[in-house]
Amino acid sequence: MLKFTLYKPMFKDITVLIKIVFFLFCIQIFSQNTRDLKLWYNTPSGDIWENALPIGNGFQAAMVYGNVEKETFQLNENTVWSGSPNRNDNPDALEALPEVRKLIFNGEYKAAEDLANAKIITKKSHGQMFQSVGNLELSFEGHDNYSDYYRELDIEKAITKTTYVVDGVKYTREAFTSFPDRVMVVRLSADKPNKISFSTQLTSPHEKQEIKINSNNEISLWGKTSDHEGVEGKVEFNALARIKNVEGNISQNGNSIVVENANSVVIFVSIATNFNSYNDLSGDEYQRATIYMDLAFNKKFDDMKAAHIAAYQKYFNRVKLDLGTTEASKLPTNERLEKFRNTSDPSFVTLYYQFGRYLLISSSQPGGQPANLQGIWNRSLKPAWDSKYTININTEMNYWPAEKTNLSELHEPLLKMIMELSETGKETAKVMYGADGWVAHHNTDIWRITGPVDGSFWGIWNGGGGWLSQHLWEHYLYTGDKSYLESVYPAIKGAATFYTDFLVEHPKYKWLVVVPGNSPENAPKEHQGASITAGSTMDNQIVFDVFSAAIKASEVLGEDKEFTEKLKSMRKRLPPMQIGKHNQLQEWLDDVDDPNDHHRHISHLYGLFPSNQISPYRNPKLFAAAKNTLLQRGDVSTGWSMGWKVNWWAKMQDGNHAYKLIQNQLMPLGTVRGGGGTYNNLFDAHPPFQIDGNFGCTSGITEMFMQSSDGAVHLLPALPDNFNTGMVSGLKTRGGFTITDMKWENGKLVYVEIESTLGGNLRLRTPNEIQFKSGKKLKKAMGENPNSFFMVDDIKTPLVSEASNIEPLQLKPTYLYDIPTKKGESYMFVLK
Ligand code: FUC
């Protein structure tokens, strides 16, 4: 009976058969596309760290070299930082502040900078260093003569694999850092029995360390981090490696564990520290590492692997991108990178895009530290820029993809850090500037320092807290979570409060300005080589955003009416943006920009992206000026700068120029003089490696397909000719909409399905006319978008230099619709 019921009704109707065939065909196409989501190579890394492949679970991470005879897993743990709880305010600042301001207003910038160096910049720590733990090393005697070598990182599974053949035996190594189990797991297997023999070691570059073998054949590496800049290193860490073998012998040789003639082996590595929080190091590293180890060690490898993949894919699978595939995708990753500029290889962009999401999932997990300058991957005790948090661009950039690529939960470590800075930064505001609220300068670290570091040229900038506080507000705009907003409102308000106390009236212009400040790391020639200034455009834009977010948040929560009124009236007195004599957006209050300045920071374009103060629809001349600024600054630059430029050109609605920047960024390092690029393992090269460029570019690619900052959900705003046909699913917009599916053909939007998770008006801007899938017509949008998540803040009318002849740009036509939506419902649209 059962047999018949299974087969009989199924092919009754030929259309069912056709549907099944079509379904199988789709699976085939899909699996072809997904097979591409691997970084793979046919050579080992050698001793080049930037060839090795990153794995991580937000807490523990490793770089997998895939070397045959001596395999190395370089290990990191997110709280292994030099130093210990400390503060770095300079209390002399308060007394010096009036004089510094006077000098700046008198145009004596060099003298102001000298005074700031003497009295404002910290005399203490300039920030601590994120440090490596050490290495897990496996030595395979006699494996120097191998063939059929292959290694990969599968970013759909977050697992590395290395295979090779020695004496007719195929060896396989797999490794992952388990999300649910918090340990690294390495499995060694062979296709013939009793063939696995190797010795295992843990090594560390740290001065304070102890390596021993515990009773259960477990190697223990204990260490203590470095002292740095007068701060004693007090983070204690413990890495444990334990081995489970099937068949064969296991023994001890000094501090190594030796396995002989096993069928297969699983190595577990657990690392923990005594770090509880930025002001508490009272944890027990050994106990913690042992708890994770014991729990994991009793599990079966296949079960752990399945649980790891499931936990990872919960995030990763939310977004799919397909830009088509060409022959080039059959090449190893390093060869694709080499050829990318001169080949059509759209799926390489897909790979790089998804690699950015992979890196965020692997380096930023709730409860852990935010992704630092190198994410969570660093081999050194003294990394470049300490691998810390540079908050005048780099840290913010790390989190640009978080919300829109549907990884909202992974924003949490950054949001938590901002809440902590809003505590530590209170004392800095008070002690250094006599202000209420909180402030952070251009760098911070795991101890949440908020004082100014590095020298006035870089460190005088105090917009770090203001810029970061925007992330608190943005998370609300995507999630609509009011209880969350209530919990972070004190920090949003605190950032605004700082500026209400810190702003002063400019004696010449009468505007309220941040002084001292700078336009990060840049200085006009006219200012005697000093960066210190009053009212830089970026500072003005940040204060505008800080005030606007505080106003809107307080309105949502129904709190602080009086404070809001104060912010509104102060906001009116901020300097307007200005268009200068080179038809550029001015970087400073005075029209002193050099059109031949190719500085990597284009901080005044903060107003174009990530902020939204420069809009083609609301202030077209400013938009045109922003374009001139972009053109004057040029394309080639450091890695992260090019990543930012992808976002800017997407906002410029110029897909081909955005694509050009992707091409520039996806070049092997050294291809273009003076520029960054990409390493073989697809890490971004500043150079050296900085992860911000990876995240910035992933954000920029998203902005090419969808933007939701300018009062509407703008679909396909910046498609380049190369991505003429494609599909993306799972992107998130402000106001809680999910683009569950979007397809385009020959540059035309042909299908889009959008889920409304919060309800409210969905204002859509599209490159061509669309209608409901049912055939029903859409309503044309009129006036302001009634959906408050899309509220845009009116900026002051820009000032235009008399020497400028700026004209608005010719924009591509778009169509604007309003669709009332209900929470939880989906809406489908097709080409009209
Ligand atoms: C800023 C940038 C540098 C570098 C550093 C980490 O200071 O100007 O280019 O990215 O951060």
Summarised one tens digit per residue, pLDDT across range 103-113 is: 999 999 999 99
pLDDT above 70 for 92:
yes
Dihedral sign from CA coordinates of 98, 101, 105, 108: positive
- The closest-lying atom of ligand 1 relative to the alpha carbon of residue 385 is 6
Q: How far is the CA of 442 from the centre of ligand 1 (A)?
A: 10
- Rounded Cα–Cα distance for residues 383 and 371 (Å): 15
Q: What is the pLDDT of residues 773-817, one digit of tens each?
A: 999 999 999 999 999 999 999 999 999 999 999 999 999 999 999
pLDDT for the residue 448: 98
Other CB atoms within a 10 A radius of the CB of residue 123 amount to: 13
pLDDT for the residue 438: 99
Of 378, 389, 392, 393, best ligand 1 pocket probe by most atoms within 8 Å of the beta carbon:
393
- The closest-lying atom of ligand 1 relative to the alpha carbon of residue 640 is 10
- Rounded Cα–Cα distance for residues 564 and 694 (Å): 38
In this structure, the dihedral spanned by the alpha carbons of residues 479, 483, 488 and 493, taken in order and rounded to 10 degrees, is 100
- The closest-lying atom of ligand 1 relative to the alpha carbon of residue 690 is 10
Q: How far is the CA of 391 from the centre of ligand 1 (A)?
A: 9
pLDDT above 70 for 689:
yes
Supply the residue whose CA is at minimum distance from atom 1 of ligand 1. 390
pLDDT for the residue 34: 44
Q: How far is the CA of 337 from the centre of ligand 1 (A)?
A: 25
Q: How far is the CA of 443 from the centre of ligand 1 (A)?
A: 10
Over range 712-735, report the average pLDDT.
97
Q: What is the pLDDT of residues 591-606, one digit of tens each?
A: 999 999 999 999 999 9
pLDDT above 80 for 13:
no
Verify whether ligand 1 is closer than 6 Å to residue 79 (CB atom): no
Q: What is the pLDDT of residues 188-209, one digit of tens each?
A: 999 999 999 999 999 999 999 9
Supply the residue whose CA is at minimum distance from atom 8 of ligand 1. 521
Q: Map tokens 């990153």 to a residue.
A: 54
Over range 564-592, report the average pLDDT.
98
pLDDT for the residue 307: 98
Q: What is the pLDDT of residues 44-71, one digit of tens each?
A: 999 999 999 999 999 999 999 999 999 9
pLDDT for the residue 31: 39
Q: How far is the CA of 197 from the centre of ligand 1 (A)?
A: 46
Helix (H) or strand (E) holding 630: helix 620-633
Choose among 97, 33, 90, 821: nearest CA to 449: 90
Verify whether ligand 1 is closer than 6 Å to residue 385 (CB atom): yes
Verify whether ligand 1 is closer than 6 Å to residue 398 (CB atom): no
Verify whether ligand 1 is closer than 6 Å to residue 609 (CB atom): no
Supply the residue whose CA is at minimum distance from atom 11 of ligand 1. 390
Residue 19: which pLDDT band, with cuts at 50, 70 and 90? very low
In angstroms and rounded to an integer, the radius of gyration of the C-alpha atoms of the chain is 28
Other CB atoms within a 10 A radius of the CB of residue 134 amount to: 25
Q: What is the pLDDT of residues 639-663, one digit of tens each?
A: 999 999 999 999 999 999 999 999 9
Q: How far is the CA of 108 from the centre of ligand 1 (A)?
A: 26
Over range 177-188, report the average pLDDT.
98
pLDDT above 70 for 12:
no
pLDDT above 80 for 28:
no
Q: What is the pLDDT of residues 726-779, one digit of tens each?
A: 999 999 999 999 999 999 999 999 999 999 999 999 999 999 999 999 999 999
| Contact (CB, 8 A) for 169 and 112 | no
pLDDT for the residue 426: 98
pLDDT for the residue 672: 81
Over range 310-331, report the average pLDDT.
96
Q: Which residues of 686-719 are buried (b: 16+ CB within 10 A; e: fewer)?
A: bbbbbbbbbbbbbbbbbbbbbbbbbbbbbbbbbb
- The closest-lying atom of ligand 1 relative to the alpha carbon of residue 442 is 7
- The closest-lying atom of ligand 1 relative to the alpha carbon of residue 458 is 7
Q: What is the pLDDT of residues 69-78, one digit of tens each?
A: 999 999 999 9
Residues shown for the chain: 832
Of 126, 374, 385, 695, best ligand 1 pocket probe by most atoms within 8 Å of the beta carbon:
385
Verify whether ligand 1 is closer than 6 Å to residue 686 (CB atom): yes
Verify whether ligand 1 is closer than 6 Å to residue 394 (CB atom): yes
pLDDT for the residue 217: 87
Percent of the chain with pLDDT over 70: 96
Residue 431: which pLDDT band, with cuts at 50, 70 and 90? very high
pLDDT for the residue 149: 98
pLDDT above 90 for 240:
yes
pLDDT for the residue 671: 87
Of 130, 686, 689, best ligand 1 pocket probe by most atoms within 8 Å of the beta carbon:
686
Over range 14-37, report the average pLDDT.
48
**Helix, strand or coil, per DSSP, at residue 450:** coil
Q: How far is the CA of 453 from the centre of ligand 1 (A)?
A: 13
Mean of per-residue pLDDT scores for the chain: 95
Q: How far is the CA of 457 from the centre of ligand 1 (A)?
A: 13
| Contact (CB, 8 A) for 670 and 711 | no
Which tokens hold the place of 302? 């296949």
pLDDT above 90 for 674:
no
pLDDT above 60 for 6:
no
Of 390, 460, 642, best ligand 1 pocket probe by most atoms within 8 Å of the beta carbon:
390
Residue 670: which pLDDT band, with cuts at 50, 70 and 90? confident
pLDDT above 60 for 35:
no
Of 460, 690, 692, 695, best ligand 1 pocket probe by most atoms within 8 Å of the beta carbon:
690
- Rounded Cα–Cα distance for residues 292 and 303 (Å): 16
Verify whether ligand 1 is closer than 6 Å to residue 690 (CB atom): yes
Q: How far is the CA of 372 from the centre of ligand 1 (A)?
A: 13
